[in-house]
Amino acid sequence: MGQGFLQIGLTLCIVIAITPLFGKYIASVFLGERTLLDFLMNPIERSMFVLAGVRRKDDMTGWQYIQAILCCNTIMAISVYFLIYFQRLLPWNPNGFGATKWDVLLHTTISFVTNTDQQHYAGETTLSYFSQVAALGFLMFTSAATGLAVGIAFIRGLTGRRLGNFYVDLVRGITRILLPISIIGAIALLIAGVPQTLAGTMDVTTLEGGTQYLARGPVASFEAIKLLGENGGGFFNVNSAHPFENPNGASNLIEMLAMISIPAALIYTYGIFANNIKQAWLLFWMVFVIFVILVGITAVGELQGNPLVNTAFGLEQPNLEGKEVRFGWSQTAFWAVMTTATMSGAVNGMHDSLMPQGIFSTLFNLFIKVIWGGQGIGTAYLFLYLILTVFLTGLMAGRTPEFLGRKIEKREIVLASVVLLIHPILVLIPSAIALAYPISLSGISNPGYHGISQVVYEYASAAANNGSGLEGLGDNTLWWNLSTLVSLIGGRYIPMIAILLLADGMSRKQQVEETPATLRTDSLVFTSITAGVTLVLGVLTFFPVLALGPIAEGLKLASGS
Protein backbone atom coordinates (compact mmCIF):
# COMPACT_ATOMS: atom_id res chain seq x y z
CA MET A 1 0.00 0.00 0.00
CA GLY A 2 2.72 2.45 1.01
CA GLN A 3 4.72 1.83 -2.14
CA GLY A 4 1.73 2.66 -4.34
CA PHE A 5 1.10 6.02 -2.67
CA LEU A 6 4.86 6.74 -2.68
CA GLN A 7 4.96 6.26 -6.47
CA ILE A 8 2.06 8.68 -6.86
CA GLY A 9 3.74 11.24 -4.59
CA LEU A 10 7.08 11.09 -6.42
CA THR A 11 5.39 11.58 -9.80
CA LEU A 12 3.54 14.63 -8.48
CA CYS A 13 6.81 16.08 -7.17
CA ILE A 14 8.33 15.77 -10.65
CA VAL A 15 5.29 17.54 -12.13
CA ILE A 16 5.72 20.45 -9.71
CA ALA A 17 9.43 20.70 -10.54
CA ILE A 18 9.08 20.77 -14.34
CA THR A 19 6.05 23.10 -14.50
CA PRO A 20 7.88 26.47 -14.19
CA LEU A 21 10.68 25.36 -16.52
CA PHE A 22 8.37 24.13 -19.25
CA GLY A 23 5.93 27.00 -18.72
CA LYS A 24 8.70 29.54 -19.21
CA TYR A 25 9.85 27.78 -22.38
CA ILE A 26 6.32 27.79 -23.87
CA ALA A 27 6.00 31.49 -23.06
CA SER A 28 9.32 32.21 -24.79
CA VAL A 29 8.17 30.35 -27.92
CA PHE A 30 4.93 32.32 -28.27
CA LEU A 31 6.30 35.67 -27.12
CA GLY A 32 8.82 35.48 -29.98
CA GLU A 33 11.84 35.32 -27.68
CA ARG A 34 15.02 33.43 -28.46
CA THR A 35 15.02 29.68 -27.82
CA LEU A 36 17.55 26.89 -28.20
CA LEU A 37 15.93 25.66 -31.41
CA ASP A 38 16.06 28.95 -33.30
CA PHE A 39 19.15 28.06 -35.35
CA LEU A 40 17.46 24.90 -36.62
CA MET A 41 13.80 25.87 -36.88
CA ASN A 42 13.93 29.48 -38.08
CA PRO A 43 15.01 28.62 -41.67
CA ILE A 44 12.45 25.80 -41.85
CA GLU A 45 9.64 28.02 -40.59
CA ARG A 46 10.59 30.87 -42.94
CA SER A 47 10.42 28.49 -45.91
CA MET A 48 7.02 27.19 -44.82
CA PHE A 49 5.60 30.68 -44.34
CA VAL A 50 6.88 31.83 -47.74
CA LEU A 51 5.34 28.81 -49.49
CA ALA A 52 2.03 29.33 -47.67
CA GLY A 53 2.00 33.10 -48.22
CA VAL A 54 1.88 33.80 -44.48
CA ARG A 55 3.59 36.77 -42.86
CA ARG A 56 4.53 36.36 -39.22
CA LYS A 57 3.54 39.86 -38.18
CA ASP A 58 0.04 39.71 -39.65
CA ASP A 59 -2.20 39.52 -36.59
CA MET A 60 -5.72 38.13 -36.98
CA THR A 61 -9.01 39.26 -35.53
CA GLY A 62 -11.13 36.77 -33.61
CA TRP A 63 -13.23 35.87 -36.66
CA GLN A 64 -10.18 35.56 -38.90
CA TYR A 65 -8.54 33.22 -36.37
CA ILE A 66 -11.74 31.13 -36.25
CA GLN A 67 -12.05 30.98 -40.04
CA ALA A 68 -8.43 29.86 -40.34
CA ILE A 69 -9.01 27.05 -37.83
CA LEU A 70 -12.20 25.82 -39.47
CA CYS A 71 -10.75 25.96 -42.97
CA CYS A 72 -7.52 24.22 -41.95
CA ASN A 73 -9.30 21.51 -39.96
CA THR A 74 -11.79 20.82 -42.75
CA ILE A 75 -9.05 20.34 -45.33
CA MET A 76 -7.11 18.06 -42.97
CA ALA A 77 -10.21 15.96 -42.21
CA ILE A 78 -11.05 15.44 -45.89
CA SER A 79 -7.44 14.54 -46.72
CA VAL A 80 -7.15 12.01 -43.89
CA TYR A 81 -10.53 10.43 -44.71
CA PHE A 82 -9.39 9.60 -48.21
CA LEU A 83 -5.90 8.52 -47.13
CA ILE A 84 -7.42 5.87 -44.88
CA TYR A 85 -10.12 4.96 -47.42
CA PHE A 86 -7.48 4.18 -50.05
CA GLN A 87 -4.97 2.61 -47.63
CA ARG A 88 -4.93 -0.66 -49.61
CA LEU A 89 -3.25 1.22 -52.50
CA LEU A 90 -0.73 3.04 -50.30
CA PRO A 91 2.63 1.84 -48.89
CA TRP A 92 3.43 0.48 -45.40
CA ASN A 93 0.55 -1.97 -45.43
CA PRO A 94 2.21 -5.36 -44.81
CA ASN A 95 -1.06 -6.93 -43.60
CA GLY A 96 -3.06 -5.79 -46.64
CA PHE A 97 -5.80 -3.91 -44.79
CA GLY A 98 -8.53 -2.39 -46.96
CA ALA A 99 -11.05 0.38 -46.37
CA THR A 100 -13.16 0.37 -43.22
CA LYS A 101 -16.93 0.95 -43.05
CA TRP A 102 -17.90 4.51 -43.91
CA ASP A 103 -19.42 5.28 -40.50
CA VAL A 104 -16.38 3.98 -38.61
CA LEU A 105 -14.07 5.91 -40.92
CA LEU A 106 -16.09 9.12 -40.56
CA HIS A 107 -16.15 8.79 -36.78
CA THR A 108 -12.41 8.07 -36.66
CA THR A 109 -11.52 11.05 -38.86
CA ILE A 110 -13.65 13.53 -36.91
CA SER A 111 -12.48 12.05 -33.63
CA PHE A 112 -8.81 12.58 -34.45
CA VAL A 113 -9.18 16.00 -36.08
CA THR A 114 -10.93 17.24 -32.92
CA ASN A 115 -8.10 15.95 -30.69
CA THR A 116 -10.51 13.42 -29.13
CA ASP A 117 -9.20 10.16 -30.60
CA GLN A 118 -12.24 8.20 -29.46
CA GLN A 119 -11.80 4.80 -31.09
CA HIS A 120 -14.57 2.44 -32.16
CA TYR A 121 -12.13 0.12 -33.94
CA ALA A 122 -9.06 -2.02 -33.19
CA GLY A 123 -6.01 -0.33 -34.68
CA GLU A 124 -3.89 -3.46 -35.15
CA THR A 125 -6.60 -5.18 -37.26
CA THR A 126 -7.98 -2.15 -39.10
CA LEU A 127 -5.32 0.35 -40.15
CA SER A 128 -2.08 0.11 -42.12
CA TYR A 129 1.13 1.59 -40.78
CA PHE A 130 0.79 4.40 -43.29
CA SER A 131 -2.70 5.22 -42.01
CA GLN A 132 -1.52 5.09 -38.40
CA VAL A 133 1.49 7.36 -39.01
CA ALA A 134 0.77 9.59 -42.03
CA ALA A 135 -2.96 10.03 -41.38
CA LEU A 136 -3.68 9.67 -37.66
CA GLY A 137 -0.16 10.64 -36.58
CA PHE A 138 -0.41 13.79 -38.69
CA LEU A 139 -3.70 14.72 -37.02
CA MET A 140 -2.21 14.04 -33.60
CA PHE A 141 0.31 16.82 -34.19
CA THR A 142 -2.01 19.29 -35.92
CA SER A 143 -5.03 18.86 -33.64
CA ALA A 144 -2.85 19.23 -30.54
CA ALA A 145 -1.15 22.29 -32.02
CA THR A 146 -4.58 23.76 -32.87
CA GLY A 147 -5.69 23.48 -29.25
CA LEU A 148 -2.40 24.91 -28.05
CA ALA A 149 -2.73 27.84 -30.47
CA VAL A 150 -6.26 28.61 -29.23
CA GLY A 151 -5.06 28.51 -25.63
CA ILE A 152 -2.21 30.90 -26.37
CA ALA A 153 -4.48 33.23 -28.37
CA PHE A 154 -6.90 33.29 -25.43
CA ILE A 155 -4.10 34.15 -23.00
CA ARG A 156 -2.93 36.91 -25.34
CA GLY A 157 -6.41 38.39 -25.49
CA LEU A 158 -6.88 38.30 -21.71
CA THR A 159 -3.59 40.09 -21.19
CA GLY A 160 -4.38 42.85 -23.70
CA ARG A 161 -2.36 41.59 -26.65
CA ARG A 162 -3.53 40.93 -30.20
CA LEU A 163 -4.54 37.31 -30.78
CA GLY A 164 -1.69 36.60 -33.16
CA ASN A 165 -1.70 34.55 -36.36
CA PHE A 166 -3.15 31.02 -36.28
CA TYR A 167 -0.84 29.62 -38.95
CA VAL A 168 2.23 30.96 -37.17
CA ASP A 169 1.04 29.63 -33.82
CA LEU A 170 0.21 26.24 -35.37
CA VAL A 171 3.63 25.87 -36.95
CA ARG A 172 5.57 27.08 -33.91
CA GLY A 173 3.57 24.81 -31.62
CA ILE A 174 4.65 21.83 -33.72
CA THR A 175 8.24 22.78 -34.54
CA ARG A 176 9.24 24.23 -31.15
CA ILE A 177 7.22 22.11 -28.69
CA LEU A 178 5.43 19.00 -29.96
CA LEU A 179 7.91 17.68 -32.51
CA PRO A 180 11.21 18.02 -30.59
CA ILE A 181 9.76 16.69 -27.33
CA SER A 182 8.06 13.83 -29.20
CA ILE A 183 11.39 12.85 -30.76
CA ILE A 184 13.04 12.80 -27.33
CA GLY A 185 10.06 10.91 -25.90
CA ALA A 186 10.09 8.33 -28.69
CA ILE A 187 13.80 7.64 -28.10
CA ALA A 188 13.16 7.28 -24.36
CA LEU A 189 10.30 4.85 -25.03
CA LEU A 190 12.49 2.87 -27.43
CA ILE A 191 15.05 2.48 -24.67
CA ALA A 192 12.25 1.41 -22.31
CA GLY A 193 11.25 -1.36 -24.73
CA VAL A 194 8.53 0.09 -26.99
CA PRO A 195 8.94 -1.26 -30.58
CA GLN A 196 9.48 0.89 -33.68
CA THR A 197 9.38 -1.12 -36.89
CA LEU A 198 7.72 -1.33 -40.31
CA ALA A 199 7.83 -5.14 -40.31
CA GLY A 200 4.52 -6.97 -40.46
CA THR A 201 2.81 -9.18 -37.90
CA MET A 202 5.17 -11.63 -36.20
CA ASP A 203 4.33 -15.36 -36.10
CA VAL A 204 5.37 -16.98 -32.84
CA THR A 205 5.28 -20.68 -31.94
CA THR A 206 3.91 -21.14 -28.44
CA LEU A 207 5.06 -23.69 -25.84
CA GLU A 208 2.06 -25.83 -26.74
CA GLY A 209 3.16 -25.89 -30.38
CA GLY A 210 0.48 -23.53 -31.62
CA THR A 211 0.90 -20.29 -33.56
CA GLN A 212 0.34 -16.83 -32.10
CA TYR A 213 0.31 -13.66 -34.16
CA LEU A 214 1.89 -10.58 -32.57
CA ALA A 215 0.94 -7.25 -34.07
CA ARG A 216 3.68 -4.60 -34.08
CA GLY A 217 4.63 -1.44 -35.94
CA PRO A 218 6.07 2.08 -35.52
CA VAL A 219 4.68 2.31 -31.99
CA ALA A 220 7.25 4.45 -30.11
CA SER A 221 6.85 7.52 -32.34
CA PHE A 222 3.05 7.14 -32.30
CA GLU A 223 3.02 6.78 -28.52
CA ALA A 224 5.10 9.90 -27.86
CA ILE A 225 2.77 12.36 -29.59
CA LYS A 226 -0.26 10.41 -28.41
CA LEU A 227 0.53 11.32 -24.78
CA LEU A 228 2.23 14.69 -25.24
CA GLY A 229 -0.56 16.05 -27.46
CA GLU A 230 -3.40 14.80 -25.21
CA ASN A 231 -4.51 12.62 -28.11
CA GLY A 232 -4.91 9.30 -26.35
CA GLY A 233 -5.74 7.08 -29.31
CA GLY A 234 -3.96 3.74 -29.09
CA PHE A 235 -1.89 2.04 -31.78
CA PHE A 236 -3.38 -1.17 -30.37
CA ASN A 237 -6.93 -1.79 -29.23
CA VAL A 238 -6.10 -1.91 -25.51
CA ASN A 239 -4.08 1.31 -25.71
CA SER A 240 -1.36 1.83 -23.10
CA ALA A 241 -2.36 -1.35 -21.29
CA HIS A 242 -0.66 -3.19 -24.20
CA PRO A 243 2.93 -4.22 -23.36
CA PHE A 244 4.16 -2.89 -26.71
CA GLU A 245 2.78 0.58 -25.93
CA ASN A 246 3.66 0.66 -22.24
CA PRO A 247 5.93 -2.22 -21.23
CA ASN A 248 7.07 -1.29 -17.71
CA GLY A 249 7.17 1.24 -14.87
CA ALA A 250 9.71 3.45 -16.64
CA SER A 251 7.57 3.83 -19.78
CA ASN A 252 4.51 4.38 -17.59
CA LEU A 253 6.24 7.28 -15.80
CA ILE A 254 7.41 8.83 -19.09
CA GLU A 255 3.91 8.66 -20.55
CA MET A 256 2.22 10.10 -17.47
CA LEU A 257 4.62 13.05 -17.36
CA ALA A 258 4.03 13.63 -21.07
CA MET A 259 0.27 13.73 -20.47
CA ILE A 260 0.32 16.36 -17.76
CA SER A 261 3.32 18.48 -18.76
CA ILE A 262 1.71 20.94 -21.21
CA PRO A 263 -1.62 21.51 -19.36
CA ALA A 264 0.23 22.18 -16.10
CA ALA A 265 2.88 24.37 -17.73
CA LEU A 266 0.32 26.54 -19.54
CA ILE A 267 -0.94 27.89 -16.21
CA TYR A 268 2.59 29.15 -15.51
CA THR A 269 2.81 30.44 -19.08
CA TYR A 270 -0.24 32.58 -18.36
CA GLY A 271 1.55 34.03 -15.32
CA ILE A 272 4.43 35.17 -17.54
CA PHE A 273 2.09 36.71 -20.14
CA ALA A 274 0.11 38.50 -17.40
CA ASN A 275 3.24 39.40 -15.45
CA ASN A 276 1.58 37.84 -12.41
CA ILE A 277 3.38 34.67 -11.36
CA LYS A 278 1.65 34.78 -7.99
CA GLN A 279 -1.78 34.29 -9.53
CA ALA A 280 -0.47 31.52 -11.77
CA TRP A 281 0.82 29.58 -8.77
CA LEU A 282 -2.43 30.10 -6.87
CA LEU A 283 -4.41 28.68 -9.79
CA PHE A 284 -1.90 25.84 -10.17
CA TRP A 285 -2.29 24.86 -6.52
CA MET A 286 -6.07 25.14 -6.75
CA VAL A 287 -6.15 22.64 -9.60
CA PHE A 288 -3.45 20.51 -7.98
CA VAL A 289 -5.36 20.13 -4.70
CA ILE A 290 -8.61 19.11 -6.44
CA PHE A 291 -6.63 16.68 -8.60
CA VAL A 292 -4.93 15.08 -5.59
CA ILE A 293 -8.28 14.70 -3.81
CA LEU A 294 -9.74 12.88 -6.84
CA VAL A 295 -6.64 10.67 -7.07
CA GLY A 296 -7.02 9.85 -3.37
CA ILE A 297 -10.72 8.97 -3.76
CA THR A 298 -9.96 6.69 -6.71
CA ALA A 299 -6.87 5.06 -5.20
CA VAL A 300 -8.58 4.29 -1.88
CA GLY A 301 -11.53 2.76 -3.72
CA GLU A 302 -9.25 0.47 -5.74
CA LEU A 303 -7.15 -0.41 -2.68
CA GLN A 304 -10.19 -1.45 -0.65
CA GLY A 305 -11.35 -3.66 -3.50
CA ASN A 306 -14.76 -5.02 -4.34
CA PRO A 307 -16.60 -5.83 -1.07
CA LEU A 308 -18.74 -8.50 -2.75
CA VAL A 309 -15.71 -10.36 -4.07
CA ASN A 310 -13.73 -9.99 -0.84
CA THR A 311 -16.64 -11.20 1.27
CA ALA A 312 -17.38 -14.16 -0.99
CA PHE A 313 -13.79 -15.43 -0.88
CA GLY A 314 -12.91 -14.27 2.62
CA LEU A 315 -10.13 -12.01 1.33
CA GLU A 316 -9.01 -8.42 1.67
CA GLN A 317 -7.31 -7.44 -1.54
CA PRO A 318 -7.32 -4.52 -3.99
CA ASN A 319 -9.54 -4.48 -7.05
CA LEU A 320 -7.29 -5.99 -9.73
CA GLU A 321 -9.96 -6.61 -12.34
CA GLY A 322 -9.08 -4.95 -15.65
CA LYS A 323 -5.58 -4.01 -14.50
CA GLU A 324 -2.11 -4.93 -15.67
CA VAL A 325 -0.07 -6.60 -12.92
CA ARG A 326 2.98 -4.55 -13.86
CA PHE A 327 1.11 -1.37 -12.85
CA GLY A 328 -1.18 -2.60 -10.10
CA TRP A 329 -4.00 -0.72 -8.39
CA SER A 330 -2.08 2.50 -7.63
CA GLN A 331 -0.67 3.36 -11.05
CA THR A 332 -3.90 2.35 -12.78
CA ALA A 333 -5.98 4.57 -10.47
CA PHE A 334 -3.50 7.44 -10.82
CA TRP A 335 -3.46 7.12 -14.62
CA ALA A 336 -7.27 6.96 -14.83
CA VAL A 337 -7.67 10.27 -13.00
CA MET A 338 -4.82 11.92 -14.92
CA THR A 339 -6.00 10.85 -18.37
CA THR A 340 -9.50 12.25 -17.74
CA ALA A 341 -8.17 15.36 -16.00
CA THR A 342 -5.84 16.23 -18.89
CA MET A 343 -8.37 15.14 -21.55
CA SER A 344 -5.80 12.71 -22.92
CA GLY A 345 -8.03 9.64 -23.02
CA ALA A 346 -5.21 7.09 -23.07
CA VAL A 347 -5.71 4.14 -20.68
CA ASN A 348 -3.33 1.67 -18.99
CA GLY A 349 -6.22 -0.37 -17.56
CA MET A 350 -9.90 -0.83 -18.24
CA HIS A 351 -11.96 2.05 -16.81
CA ASP A 352 -15.05 -0.16 -17.01
CA SER A 353 -13.54 -2.24 -14.19
CA LEU A 354 -12.90 0.69 -11.86
CA MET A 355 -14.75 0.79 -8.55
CA PRO A 356 -17.60 3.34 -8.36
CA GLN A 357 -15.25 5.85 -6.70
CA GLY A 358 -13.00 5.73 -9.76
CA ILE A 359 -15.88 6.12 -12.19
CA PHE A 360 -17.11 9.07 -10.12
CA SER A 361 -13.70 10.77 -10.33
CA THR A 362 -13.23 10.16 -14.05
CA LEU A 363 -16.75 11.34 -14.89
CA PHE A 364 -16.29 14.40 -12.66
CA ASN A 365 -13.14 15.34 -14.60
CA LEU A 366 -14.98 14.97 -17.90
CA PHE A 367 -17.84 17.10 -16.62
CA ILE A 368 -15.95 20.18 -15.37
CA LYS A 369 -12.98 20.04 -17.82
CA VAL A 370 -10.67 22.35 -15.81
CA ILE A 371 -8.65 19.94 -13.67
CA TRP A 372 -5.60 20.57 -15.91
CA GLY A 373 -7.91 20.35 -18.94
CA GLY A 374 -7.13 19.63 -22.57
CA GLN A 375 -4.39 20.96 -24.79
CA GLY A 376 -4.65 24.76 -24.46
CA ILE A 377 -8.45 24.90 -24.41
CA GLY A 378 -8.54 23.45 -20.90
CA THR A 379 -6.53 26.43 -19.70
CA ALA A 380 -9.10 28.71 -21.32
CA TYR A 381 -11.89 26.89 -19.45
CA LEU A 382 -10.09 27.56 -16.18
CA PHE A 383 -10.02 31.29 -16.86
CA LEU A 384 -13.65 31.30 -17.93
CA TYR A 385 -14.54 30.12 -14.43
CA LEU A 386 -12.24 32.85 -13.13
CA ILE A 387 -14.12 35.48 -15.16
CA LEU A 388 -17.47 34.20 -13.89
CA THR A 389 -16.16 34.33 -10.33
CA VAL A 390 -15.00 37.92 -10.84
CA PHE A 391 -18.46 38.84 -12.10
CA LEU A 392 -20.34 37.06 -9.31
CA THR A 393 -18.17 38.27 -6.44
CA GLY A 394 -18.08 41.78 -7.89
CA LEU A 395 -21.86 41.89 -7.88
CA MET A 396 -22.11 40.50 -4.35
CA ALA A 397 -19.43 42.76 -2.92
CA GLY A 398 -20.46 45.86 -4.87
CA ARG A 399 -17.09 46.09 -6.62
CA THR A 400 -16.29 46.69 -10.24
CA PRO A 401 -16.08 43.36 -12.14
CA GLU A 402 -12.66 43.68 -13.77
CA PHE A 403 -10.02 41.19 -14.78
CA LEU A 404 -6.46 42.27 -15.48
CA GLY A 405 -7.62 45.88 -15.65
CA ARG A 406 -10.39 45.22 -18.19
CA LYS A 407 -14.10 45.40 -17.43
CA ILE A 408 -16.16 42.23 -17.50
CA GLU A 409 -19.40 43.12 -19.25
CA LYS A 410 -22.47 41.44 -20.73
CA ARG A 411 -20.72 40.17 -23.86
CA GLU A 412 -18.02 38.35 -21.88
CA ILE A 413 -20.55 36.73 -19.55
CA VAL A 414 -22.75 35.60 -22.46
CA LEU A 415 -19.79 34.02 -24.28
CA ALA A 416 -18.49 32.38 -21.11
CA SER A 417 -21.98 31.03 -20.42
CA VAL A 418 -22.19 29.58 -23.92
CA VAL A 419 -18.95 27.69 -23.37
CA LEU A 420 -20.00 26.33 -19.99
CA LEU A 421 -23.58 25.42 -21.03
CA ILE A 422 -22.87 23.72 -24.35
CA HIS A 423 -21.01 20.89 -22.63
CA PRO A 424 -23.92 19.59 -20.50
CA ILE A 425 -26.25 20.00 -23.50
CA LEU A 426 -24.00 17.80 -25.64
CA VAL A 427 -23.69 15.20 -22.88
CA LEU A 428 -27.09 14.98 -21.22
CA ILE A 429 -29.44 15.27 -24.22
CA PRO A 430 -27.73 12.52 -26.33
CA SER A 431 -27.48 10.35 -23.21
CA ALA A 432 -31.21 10.72 -22.56
CA ILE A 433 -32.00 9.80 -26.17
CA ALA A 434 -29.65 6.79 -26.06
CA LEU A 435 -31.27 5.52 -22.86
CA ALA A 436 -34.79 6.02 -24.24
CA TYR A 437 -34.62 4.01 -27.48
CA PRO A 438 -33.98 0.25 -27.76
CA ILE A 439 -31.85 0.58 -30.91
CA SER A 440 -29.11 2.21 -28.84
CA LEU A 441 -29.63 0.10 -25.71
CA SER A 442 -28.37 -2.98 -27.56
CA GLY A 443 -24.81 -1.96 -26.82
CA ILE A 444 -25.24 -1.63 -23.06
CA SER A 445 -23.71 -4.62 -21.27
CA ASN A 446 -25.07 -3.69 -17.85
CA PRO A 447 -28.76 -2.76 -17.44
CA GLY A 448 -28.24 -1.34 -13.94
CA TYR A 449 -26.57 1.77 -12.57
CA HIS A 450 -23.30 0.87 -14.29
CA GLY A 451 -25.08 0.88 -17.65
CA ILE A 452 -26.12 4.50 -17.10
CA SER A 453 -22.48 5.38 -16.40
CA GLN A 454 -21.42 3.62 -19.61
CA VAL A 455 -23.76 5.68 -21.78
CA VAL A 456 -23.10 9.03 -20.10
CA TYR A 457 -19.34 8.40 -20.10
CA GLU A 458 -19.37 7.82 -23.87
CA TYR A 459 -20.95 11.19 -24.62
CA ALA A 460 -19.03 13.02 -21.88
CA SER A 461 -15.79 11.68 -23.31
CA ALA A 462 -16.79 12.79 -26.82
CA ALA A 463 -17.96 16.26 -25.79
CA ALA A 464 -14.89 16.82 -23.59
CA ASN A 465 -12.61 15.69 -26.47
CA ASN A 466 -11.17 13.02 -24.19
CA GLY A 467 -11.72 9.74 -26.04
CA SER A 468 -11.58 7.15 -23.25
CA GLY A 469 -14.59 4.94 -22.58
CA LEU A 470 -16.20 2.31 -20.40
CA GLU A 471 -15.60 -0.43 -22.92
CA GLY A 472 -18.40 -2.68 -21.76
CA LEU A 473 -20.45 -0.55 -24.12
CA GLY A 474 -20.78 -2.00 -27.63
CA ASP A 475 -20.05 1.30 -29.35
CA ASN A 476 -19.01 0.17 -32.83
CA THR A 477 -22.47 0.55 -34.35
CA LEU A 478 -24.06 3.03 -36.71
CA TRP A 479 -25.92 4.67 -33.80
CA TRP A 480 -22.86 5.30 -31.67
CA ASN A 481 -20.60 6.25 -34.57
CA LEU A 482 -23.01 8.94 -35.79
CA SER A 483 -24.55 10.16 -32.53
CA THR A 484 -21.18 10.81 -30.91
CA LEU A 485 -20.19 12.95 -33.92
CA VAL A 486 -22.55 15.66 -32.67
CA SER A 487 -20.78 15.74 -29.31
CA LEU A 488 -17.33 15.53 -30.92
CA ILE A 489 -17.85 18.48 -33.27
CA GLY A 490 -19.97 20.61 -30.95
CA GLY A 491 -17.70 20.00 -27.97
CA ARG A 492 -14.65 21.09 -29.94
CA TYR A 493 -15.68 24.00 -32.14
CA ILE A 494 -18.52 25.81 -30.35
CA PRO A 495 -16.40 26.49 -27.23
CA MET A 496 -13.42 27.31 -29.42
CA ILE A 497 -15.37 29.97 -31.31
CA ALA A 498 -16.79 31.53 -28.14
CA ILE A 499 -13.38 31.49 -26.43
CA LEU A 500 -11.69 33.31 -29.31
CA LEU A 501 -14.47 35.89 -29.59
CA LEU A 502 -14.24 36.55 -25.86
CA ALA A 503 -10.47 36.93 -26.06
CA ASP A 504 -10.77 39.22 -29.07
CA GLY A 505 -13.20 41.46 -27.18
CA MET A 506 -10.98 41.58 -24.10
CA SER A 507 -7.94 42.50 -26.21
CA ARG A 508 -9.76 45.56 -27.57
CA LYS A 509 -10.88 46.91 -24.20
CA GLN A 510 -9.19 49.96 -22.78
CA GLN A 511 -7.28 49.15 -19.62
CA VAL A 512 -8.62 50.99 -16.60
CA GLU A 513 -6.66 52.17 -13.60
CA GLU A 514 -6.81 50.05 -10.49
CA THR A 515 -8.80 51.64 -7.64
CA PRO A 516 -9.61 50.63 -4.05
CA ALA A 517 -12.90 49.21 -5.39
CA THR A 518 -11.12 46.87 -7.83
CA LEU A 519 -11.40 43.21 -6.91
CA ARG A 520 -8.01 41.53 -6.49
CA THR A 521 -7.88 38.18 -8.28
CA ASP A 522 -4.41 37.10 -7.13
CA SER A 523 -5.32 36.36 -3.53
CA LEU A 524 -5.83 33.09 -1.70
CA VAL A 525 -9.38 34.08 -0.75
CA PHE A 526 -10.43 34.80 -4.34
CA THR A 527 -8.78 31.59 -5.59
CA SER A 528 -10.68 29.61 -2.95
CA ILE A 529 -13.93 31.24 -4.09
CA THR A 530 -13.06 30.31 -7.70
CA ALA A 531 -12.59 26.71 -6.64
CA GLY A 532 -15.97 26.80 -4.90
CA VAL A 533 -17.75 28.32 -7.91
CA THR A 534 -16.15 25.75 -10.23
CA LEU A 535 -17.14 22.79 -8.08
CA VAL A 536 -20.64 24.07 -7.33
CA LEU A 537 -21.46 24.77 -10.98
CA GLY A 538 -20.06 21.40 -12.07
CA VAL A 539 -21.80 19.40 -9.35
CA LEU A 540 -25.16 21.16 -9.71
CA THR A 541 -25.21 20.56 -13.45
CA PHE A 542 -24.28 16.88 -13.38
CA PHE A 543 -25.20 15.68 -9.88
CA PRO A 544 -28.37 13.78 -11.00
CA VAL A 545 -26.26 11.76 -13.44
CA LEU A 546 -23.60 11.06 -10.82
CA ALA A 547 -26.30 10.07 -8.33
CA LEU A 548 -27.94 7.64 -10.78
CA GLY A 549 -24.61 6.20 -11.91
CA PRO A 550 -21.48 5.76 -9.75
CA ILE A 551 -22.97 6.98 -6.47
CA ALA A 552 -25.93 4.59 -6.69
CA GLU A 553 -23.61 1.78 -7.78
CA GLY A 554 -21.31 2.46 -4.83
CA LEU A 555 -24.21 2.44 -2.35
CA LYS A 556 -25.46 -0.83 -3.81
CA LEU A 557 -22.04 -2.45 -3.41
CA ALA A 558 -21.69 -1.12 0.13
CA SER A 559 -25.06 -2.63 1.04
CA GLY A 560 -23.85 -6.04 -0.12
CA SER A 561 -26.52 -6.48 -2.79
Task: Determine how many CB atoms are found less than 10 A away from the CB of residue 494.
Answer: 18
What is the distance between the alpha carbons of residues 32 and 25, in angstroms, rounded to a whole number? 11
Taking 90 as the threshold, does the pLDDT of residue 212 lie above it?
Answer: no
Q: Give the closest residue to 535 by CA, choosing from 310, 369, 306, 419.
A: 369
What is the distance between the alpha carbons of residues 15 and 341, in angstroms, rounded to a whole number? 14
Cα distances (Å, whole numbers) of residue 533 to 384, 393, 540 = 11, 10, 10
**Mean pLDDT value across the chain:** 91
Taking 70 as the threshold, does the pLDDT of residue 119 lie above it?
Answer: yes
> Which residues fall within 8 angstroms of residue 358, CB to CB, at 6 or more apart?
297, 298, 301, 302, 333, 336, 337, 351
What is the distance between the alpha carbons of residues 438 and 519, in angstroms, rounded to a whole number? 53
pLDDT at residue 186 in the model:
96
Taking 80 as the threshold, does the pLDDT of residue 93 lie above it?
Answer: yes
* 446: confidence class by pLDDT, cuts 50, 70, 90: confident
pLDDT at residue 515 in the model:
67
Q: Which H or E run contains 48?
A: helix 38-52
Task: Determine how many CB atoms are found less than 10 A away from the CB of residue 47.
Answer: 10
What is the distance between the alpha carbons of residues 296 and 336, in angstroms, rounded to a whole number? 12
pLDDT at residue 210 in the model:
85
Taking only the tens place, the pLDDT of each residue in 14-45 is 999 999 999 999 999 999 898 888 888 889 88
Crossing angle for the helix pair 410-436 and 377-397, nearest 10 degrees?
A: 120
What is the distance between the alpha carbons of residues 83 and 108, in angstroms, rounded to a whole number? 12
Taking only the tens place, the pLDDT of each residue in 131-182 is 999 999 999 999 999 999 999 999 999 998 999 999 999 999 999 999 999 9
Taking only the tens place, the pLDDT of each residue in 240-282 is 999 999 999 999 999 999 999 999 999 999 999 999 999 999 9
Taking only the tens place, the pLDDT of each residue in 515-561 is 666 677 888 988 999 999 988 888 888 999 999 999 999 998 888 76
Taking only the tens place, the pLDDT of each residue in 394-418 is 777 767 788 878 888 889 999 999 9
DSSP letters of 71-97? Answer: HHHHHHHHHHHHHHHTGGGSSS-TT--
What secondary structure letter does DSSP report for 196? B
pLDDT at residue 358 in the model:
95
pLDDT at residue 1 in the model:
63
pLDDT at residue 175 in the model:
94
pLDDT at residue 517 in the model:
63
pLDDT at residue 407 in the model:
85
pLDDT at residue 316 in the model:
82
pLDDT, mean of residues 207-223: 90
Q: Which H or E run contains 271?
A: helix 249-273
Q: Break the chain into its structural domains and give their ranges.
A: 2-558
Taking 90 as the threshold, does the pLDDT of residue 471 lie above it?
Answer: no
pLDDT at residue 49 in the model:
87
What is the distance between the alpha carbons of residues 140 and 345, in angstroms, rounded to a whole number? 13
- Kindly provide the b/e burial profile for residues 86-102, where b requires at least 16 CB atoms within 10 angstroms of the residue's own CB: ebeeeebbeeebeebee
